[in-house]
Structure 1
């Protein structure tokens, strides 16, 4: 597919984000099932619900623009999730697995932060203020999820993994 207009590039970015959220929603449930620390398990489950809401926001934006939300598959997210599965398969012990889960989850979150930040900036350039506000809300949720994972890692999971 060739893109020749700025707005089309923006809409393609949103379609990619729908794919990101779809893939992440599934991965978060698998990650929560693998987690042993209650705070980590809860954070992953809570972020799953937030991920569904973020996808719904994206679909609403794309519907307003008359664009099919499911037109793209984000290959970068596929690769990040594949790496997460690989990591979980080689880590031994609950504490070490939880530390690996956080490291992997933060890679996923950082990718989303970059994607939402870019999409919000594109919306701003297009003077699509409602879109921009919705994308910024998701961006802030992603930043908060990342901060919570850092807090759980520093306060509970990593010290336990180090002591194991």
Structure 2
């Protein structure tokens, strides 16, 4: 990756999060099937719909700026998806697995929040006003999803996991 300008950095970061979102569209259905609590299943299914919209927004950014994404694979998301598979394989279905899935999903959200925050800062610096608005919309969705996951954990998910293990 020989990035030599802020514009090239923006394209690289956008390409990376595009790969991350694509990987996530494959992982979310698996997470939904592995979850037991109906509200967690619904959260994963809703986030899949949002993620598809976020990919469409990235496509809009590409179109608005008349740029071409690089073909790269987001190694960070690849690792986070792998962690999710390990949770599914190593923890029996139930409240404990749900608690672990929520934690893993929040790791994903925190990564995405950081990535979109960076892209917003770069877009602002570059004067990409239209792209910035699209990226801010996605950033807000990622933050909202993180908050919903926190509420699921604190609203009984972690307590059920502790009681199940006792």
Please report the TM-score for the alignment, with normalisation by the length of structure 2: 0.94
RMSD: 1.2
CA distance in 1, matches of 2:98, 2:87: 11
CA distance in 2, matches of 1:15, 1:63: 14
Q: Give 1:53's aligned residue.
A: 53
Alignment partners' CA distance in 1, 2:75 and 2:67: 20
For 1:58 and 1:70, locate their aligned partners in 2 and report how far apart those are by CA, in whole Å.
13
- Tell me if 1:154 matches 2:154: yes
Deviation readout 1:84-123 (Å, 9 max, x if unpaired):
1112211124111101100000000000000000000000
Does 1:76 pair with 2:59? Answer: no
Aligned positions of 1:112-151 closer than 5 A: 112-151=112-151
Give the direction of change, closer, same or farther, for the CA distance of 1:70–1:39 in structure 2 (3 Å limit): farther
TM-score by length of 1: 0.95
Take 2:151 and 2:133, find their aligned partners in 1: how far apart are those partners?
27
1: distance between equivalents of 2:75 and 2:30? 19
Q: How far apart are the structure 2 equivalents of 1:79 and 1:36?
A: 23
Instruction: Show the 5 A alignment for 1:33-44.
Output: 33-44=33-44
Structure 1 residue 6 corresponds to structure 2 residue 6: yes
**2:163 pairs with 1:163:** yes
Question: Match of 1:16?
Answer: 16
For structure 1, list consecutive stretches of 5 or more residues without a partner in the other structure: none
How far apart in 2 are the matches of 1:93 and 1:102? 13
- Distance of 2:59 and 2:84 partners within structure 1: 26
Secondary structure of the residue that 1:92 maps to in structure 2?
coil
SS in structure 2 opposite 1:3?
coil
